[in-house]
Structure 1
Amino acid sequence: MEKELLIGDESHTSYGTDHLHAPRVAQDASSDSSPFEGASAPPYELLDNRPIDEEEDSGKEVLCGSSDQLPHEEHEGLHSHLTERNILSVSEYDVKEALLRFAASKCCYRTAPAKGMNLQKLTPLNTYRYRLETFTETRETYSASGIYNGGFVDSPAVAPPPAPWEIMVDPPPLFTDCEMHLPIPHSYSVENCPNCKGRGAIMCQSCKGAGKKKCSACDGTGTNTQEDYNVCSWCAGTGDNRCSSCRSNGWLKCRRCIGSGILLFHTELTITWKNNVLERIADIDSGLPNHHFKDVAGKEILSDEHFSVYPIVDFPEPSIDDYSRACIEQHKIQFASGSLHRILKQKQAIELLPVTKAEYEWKGKLYSFYVFGNENQVYTKDYPGKCCCSLM
């Protein structure tokens, strides 16, 4: 049997695991070691007591935990980013090219204003984006059934079925969406088909089990005044016709059990790995709607990855501290409680997002637009070169 793992938008197939080896369970872990064993996270309460992984030498500052846990030197590196926030990230040439490219991409925009504008002022409005990623594993069970062709049944009488979290599986790469379906060992049973209640057949709904239907030609009277002998030729005077749906049997073979009346049931385990993301943009009241930052990149200035991250403290922009604390608490409430979800890993990051407001003059009037993101995207509400188009 094949199992499909759905990773992102692609499907990857795993072969042979069903009939070569049953899914590993916790009590068998000692005899079959694997680098992925134990990948499923323990309850959240135990994560707070785990030793924190050593920081990788990535060259990015990491600032988390409470302020009294950190030496003062770890705060100093962030002041340079506060200064960088007030520095222009684009040149006058870049700004003009960005607006020209923007106007050329719009079918109803003329490029003349972008080519001939008189640039008056550039104002840096750089801001920060906070991003929290929580990689979770969810396990749910449901009943599944199939055709029973006889033979051995791996029922609870053979051995107790393992609990959902006792089954060990190989997880996908971290922070990658994936889904897996597995039958739980020792959960099989042979039971009556619920569709036909074990009969192997269901009543024909066309004739309600009678095997015949009222003749439509004579409306069940058996007579027809338009014919010579006053007898309905369609039903030979009986008033009924043979039901073609069930061939006068009154019953139809059950499609679910193919007429056997029994099915092989088992408990199916669905494992879902999901990267849950929360993003917040520091509000700078610039006039640029925050949703435009969704598809642009910035400069990552802080990165922190652990089993459980701590809120950021004493960041130069105070709202980032609040966002970090609120997002971490939201994911903790959402995923660290209950028996369905477990947090496997968390990652938080801060990006410096370049934003520049450009003011320019065109034909004696003042206009403005924004250039933002590493891609130099443009946003404007009052571009002067719009024209009206109509489709014939």
Structure 2
Amino acid sequence: MNKYFAICPRGLEELLLDELRGVGGEDLQAVHGGVFFAGDWSTCYRANLESRIATRILWHIVKGPYVKEEDIYRLAVRQLWPNHFTVTNTMRVVTTAIKCPLKSLDFVTLRVKDAVCDRFREDLGDRPNIETRNPDVSVHVFLTENECTLYLDTSGQPLWQRGFRKASVDAPLKENLAAGILKLTGWQPGTPLIDPMCGSGTFLLEAVQMALDRAPGLDRTFSFERLKSFEAMNWAHIRAAAEARVKPAEPLDIRGYDSDERAVRATRRNLQESGFGGVVTVDHGDVLETQPLTDHGILVANPPYGERIGEQDELAAFYPQLGTALKRHWAGWNCFFFTADLRLPKLVGLKPSRKTPLFNGPLECRLFEIRMVSGSNRKG
């Protein structure tokens, strides 16, 4: 049984825990920014393939106390790195820390890199090459105030990189954050879904994959495929099982609109290149004019908070108009707005029934739920 740590956007830890339980994870423990879990290699492979929420899955190698950099070097040099990957694999070291008293994390990174290379030299007479941009293998160092944990990354490129979104407009949401937001809305396939400010279509792409039961990692490779422990037959079976359960792509009641023609073109291109061209309807439309075709459903939007429409004073003028449009057109719908602009509910003039704190990278945000009660607020 291996131990792992799955990283995710802050605020989505409990959703990730549920996902990991679903792929066989045991001894699950959610902490800020991720979930500890245990499992065999099948669990690791399935977590990478199936998780919509995780950013990456790290395999726990060792944990030990430290006072100074040389303690970390000694911990790292004692590990049998040549048992985990070959000398021909390129590698890098990534260091993160919370309340670490050491002066330079760059120096820690350098000492761990030296330790791994020294171990290879001692055992094999040769050392792996360093590649910082796109290495075969990444060693992750995590430091607390007095403990160092060493991991090997099993994911490679971040898991939010599904391999789909080729075209994008300004500052798109990462796919795993969009997937988490969709889960927080309670949306289920079969329920009408509209994103009236769809940008490059991230919410739409994630919703389609959920509706078709399509594992988000089917179109990409993973770092675990380069580890010596890789079980190729096991992975082939897991992947084939995931491919076999994908539902046929048929038109769904999922719609996207944007007032920017470039965004509409980008979304259509992304859906087309992902094989979902005929599944989702995407049209040019202003959020203030857009109207639903059904009397209930989920509206989800990531409105601008300073960039796309304008600065703070322009948004302050836009929000009351948005409130009027919601009252006029969206009775019976559950409306969700993900934003870093905490003025939104007050300026929209509608009281949120729920406020969920989330982080978009370092940026603190909220997911506001505004229930538009059927039969009230409707104007001619």
Note whether the superposition's TM-score is higher than 0.5.
Answer: no
Select the structure that is richer in helix. 2
Q: TM-score, normalised by structure 2?
A: 0.18
- Between the two structures, name the one with larger relative contact order (CA 8 Å, sep ≥ 6): 1
Select the structure that is richer in strand. 1
